Structure 1
Amino acid sequence: MDLTGTVMTRQQDITIMMLTVLFSNQVSARFCRKHTKQVLLVSMDGFRYDYPEKAKTPNFDKMAQDGVRAKYLQSTFTTKTLPSHYSMVTGLYDESHGIISNEMHDPEFKDDFDIQTFPDSKWWSQGEPIWITTRKHGLKSGTVHWPGGYIEIQGIGANKVHRYNDSVPFEQRIDIAIEMLAEDKFNFVCVYFNEPDLTGHIFGPDSVEIVKMVEEMDSLVGKLFSKLEQKGLQDSVNLVVTSDHGMTSTNYDNKLINIYDVVDRTYIKSTLEIGAIMQVVPEDGRDTYVVNTINKHPNIKAYRKDDIPEVWHFKNNRRVTPILVVADEGWTLTHDPDVTKRSPRTGEHGYDNGLVTMQPIFYAVGPNFVPGFFSPPFQLIDIYPMICELLSISPAPNNGTLDNTSIFLRPAHDYSSCSDISFDVIHNSP
């Protein structure tokens, strides 16, 4: 009888059992990790990743020292306000959540999207925003001036909603959000500010005015810290301050392109949007001619819908027009130069999301963030699964991943381990 084989088998069994227990402990620790279950998400529109280096930002510096700062976030295409904000709160690419731009037409609805009218929830129903995911898990949520924050899906919306109104002062928006966290005990709250985007459009990303506005937004962060401390929330709220996209310089004097100077208007049925991109519907049977003619221009590129680069995660949605035209960085598309020049811009976004100038900031601080952590770049769509983790809820299907953010998450201060979990090991007789 060969006893060697028997001994080796038993040793292997013990080794495998030990590894199994160790692995189970690691996996269980991952799922039993305690979070404070309160998150405040703040978006400062058009806050380019390198703006803090242009100005004095003691409060952002404090966030980086006490929490997490990323080199930048990889924004989604298109790098525009509505699509990027909806990607942030759903974890979905534009083609997946359906808010493909600030202006769009839905052939199924036979209707046009106009954000000024607070479009019906049907437009947003291809994605599930975090304030609804929160409600589905029995928690409470609130939105403060957030793009699309008013929507309901299957009759479920945030517990409290403050629709966007640019006349409401920034500090008042903070007070509303703090009240939701302190008095209403909401688990998730998001608040939106339309700066420094507005200043960037008017004066450009390299202006003295943008430096001043960045410092004003930094001061706002300081006021937010103070209000959190006054309410005793600093040890219970995980604060995330981020943005939707960056900004680049433009010049209407020599970088403005009239699409009808490039291709005869008789070949185009309609267009949507001006700026970095333009959606084009050609006359029947004229798509090849329109694409080829536009592509003779050295500073713009036209794509048939099927040829839109996969890396943009944009083309697979019914709202995408047959032709998409994308301008080179700094160039502007229009269908009416006279009208466009009445509201001149020296800063713009909406360009290829691979451009570094299109990337926004990311800062986070709170009981579940590792202090002093400088993170490599990650994607805007990773914010949604990260917030779900901080709320200890299961995310809806999404394109993001927790892998990119789990490296700077930690247990809360009052929760050192998962030692209360026991593992029963069965000892078999030889």
Structure 2
Amino acid sequence: MSSFLFLLLCTGIGAIWSANIPPLSKKVLMISMDGFRWDYLDMVPETPHIKQMAGNGVQLKYVNNTFITKTFPTHYAIATGLWEETHGIVGNSMYDPLFNETFRMGNTETKWWNEGEPIWITAKKQNLKTGTYFWPGSEVKIQGMYPDIWKRYNGSVPFRDRVDTVVDWFQNGHVDLATLYFNEPDHTGHLFGPFSDEIKAKVREMDSLLGYLINKLNEAGVLSSLNIILTSDHGMTEVNKTTRIIYLDAYVNPDDIYLIPESGPVANILPKPGRENIVYNDLRGKHSKMTVYRKEDIPEHFHYKNNRRVMPIVAIAADGWMIEYNSSSMGKWDPRGNHGYDNRLLDMRPIFVAQGPNFKDNYKTNSINSVDIYPMLCALLGIQPAPHNGTLDNSAEFLDIPGLVSGGSQKGEITLMALVMAIIRHLSG
């Protein structure tokens, strides 16, 4: 029996270590650069720090993000691994018929956010320390908890100050998981469009910021033990409110509309009681750049119809077009770029680059879904995920995690180790 045990230990454990898989670091920094379109790196070749990060780790062609492609809904899908219809944040602005209230960005009332479990709560419940330097939902008490460290959103905080703070968290052992959010290049993309000289300059600036972060982590002595993910919520497309806009009041009677809580690339429309058929028929097929759905007919691939906050009628603009109730509702805002459109459009897809001890080196692959990031984070942290809509299968190919085998299952090598331990217990008994 002892000879068999010796052979098993040599072949089994030796096979595990021969793959050069490092131990699980259980340290993760997730960064979002809002509105960082997937192909900005092709448009702006002068991004040495992001390219170096990709060479040291993993680069996806893009992320398949959730619909609608707006900041709050998609960031919360990343954090929870849930489709928007499941986690309930279905827009930056939305109406809840049960509450008879309208949600705006910045609302931190728990009742709006209690359908999902974000990664900072999952990790904290399993005795890891979490910190959030901004992320939609991170200022909200969820399941009676906040992150161990969190910041109320303040867009005026200099980007390098945010970096310095997060580096300190890791250097002094305050956190195992941190999120770090920047509102660029989204802001510049809205103002000047995705192909402007201004957006190219901003992309170079954000690349320099990443270089500053990497340098600070290295100086702090924590870079080699930290898994770092750089991603985003959505992309950006060109718009023009003069030539590519649809005004709903050209087709519907205002007396038939109760509320339009959010418009733009997508308009959620709540008709007055008894007027739904009239509004739908007034809008359907009236403009070639607008597709109108009854809620129950929204295509399944959007994962968007099974929530009471999705209005009875949803109008979706074609890429680069916008929907508004009338000219006054648009106000003085005159963007050159926008997002929120069909998530199957390449313009809407964001970046994903990662490096660290548990990512493969210089590994390029196609894509994962934004809801797949949550189970990947759980695997990197060594914790059990809450129920989610993603899968670890899609990221398993580029992870170096002990016990993680193809298909995203840990069963194979864990079973081997369990057998070894059972034999050891048998012999010692």
TM-score, structure 2 as length reference? 0.89
Aligned to 2:324: 334
Aligned to 1:286: 275
Aligned to 2:393: 403
Q: Does 1:366 align with 2:356?
A: yes
In structure 1, what is the Cα distance between the partners aligned to 2:361 and 2:162? 27
In structure 2, what is the Cα distance between the partners aligned to 1:64 and 1:24? 31
Aligned to 2:87: 97
Q: 1:143–1:158: 8 Å Cα contact kept in structure 2?
A: yes
Q: Does 1:298 align with 2:288?
A: yes
Residue 181 of structure 1: SS of its match in structure 2? helix
- Structure 2: runs of 5 or more not aligned: 1-10, 403-412, 425-429
Aligned to 2:62: 72
In structure 2, what is the Cα distance between the partners aligned to 1:355 and 1:88? 19
In structure 1, what is the Cα distance between the partners aligned to 2:207 and 2:13? 44
Q: 1:34–1:411: 8 Å Cα contact kept in structure 2?
A: yes
Q: 2:32–2:232: 8 Å Cα contact kept in structure 1?
A: yes
Residue 89 of structure 1: SS of its match in structure 2? helix
In structure 2, what is the Cα distance between the partners aligned to 1:359 and 1:179? 32
Q: Does 1:168 align with 2:148?
A: no
Aligned to 1:393: 383
TM-score, structure 1 as length reference? 0.88
- Return the index of the structure with the highest Cα Rg: 1
Q: Does 1:134 align with 2:123?
A: yes
Q: Does 1:216 align with 2:205?
A: yes
In structure 2, what is the Cα distance between the partners aligned to 1:424 and 1:82? 48
Q: Does 1:381 align with 2:371?
A: yes
TM-superposed CA distance for 1:24, in Å, is 12
- AA in 2 matched with 1:94: E
TM-superposed CA distance for 1:33, in Å, is 7.9
- For residues 8-28 of structure 1, the C-alpha deviation after alignment (integer angstroms, 9 at most, x for no partner) is xxxxxxxxxxxxxx999999x
In structure 2, what is the Cα distance between the partners aligned to 1:267 and 1:170? 46
Residue 364 of structure 2: SS of its match in structure 1? strand
Q: 2:102–2:261: 8 Å Cα contact kept in structure 1?
A: no
- AA in 1 matched with 2:400: R
Identity over aligned residues, as a percent?
Answer: 44
In structure 2, what is the Cα distance between the partners aligned to 1:178 and 1:284? 54
Residue 376 of structure 1: SS of its match in structure 2? strand
Aligned to 2:258: 269
Q: 2:22–2:357: 8 Å Cα contact kept in structure 1?
A: no
TM-superposed CA distance for 1:206, in Å, is 0.8
User: Quick one: structure 1 residues 88 and 23, their matched pair in 2 at CA, closer, same or farther if it must change by over 3 Å?
Assistant: farther
- AA in 2 matched with 1:308: I
Equivalent of residue 355 in structure 1, options 340, 345, 354: 345
In structure 2, what is the Cα distance between the partners aligned to 1:202 and 1:365? 31
In structure 1, what is the Cα distance between the partners aligned to 2:148 and 2:338? 35
- Structure 1: runs of 5 or more not aligned: 1-21
Aligned to 2:302: 312
Residue 225 of structure 2: SS of its match in structure 1? coil
Runs of 4+ aligned residues of structure 1 deviating over 3 Å after TM superposition are 22-27, 417-421, 423-426
In structure 2, what is the Cα distance between the partners aligned to 1:43 and 1:348? 18
Aligned to 1:120: 109
User: Quick one: structure 1 residues 23 and 96, their matched pair in 2 at CA, closer, same or farther if it must change by over 3 Å?
Assistant: farther
In structure 2, what is the Cα distance between the partners aligned to 1:129 and 1:33? 27
Equivalence map 1:24-43=2 (5 Å) = 34-43=23-32
Q: Does 1:188 align with 2:170?
A: no
In structure 2, what is the Cα distance between the partners aligned to 1:80 and 1:44? 13
Q: 1:256–1:337: 8 Å Cα contact kept in structure 2?
A: no
TM-superposed CA distance for 1:292, in Å, is 2.1
TM-superposed CA distance for 1:423, in Å, is 5.9
Aligned to 1:108: 98
Q: Does 1:83 align with 2:73?
A: yes
User: Quick one: structure 1 residues 290 and 366, their matched pair in 2 at CA, closer, same or farther if it must change by over 3 Å?
Assistant: same
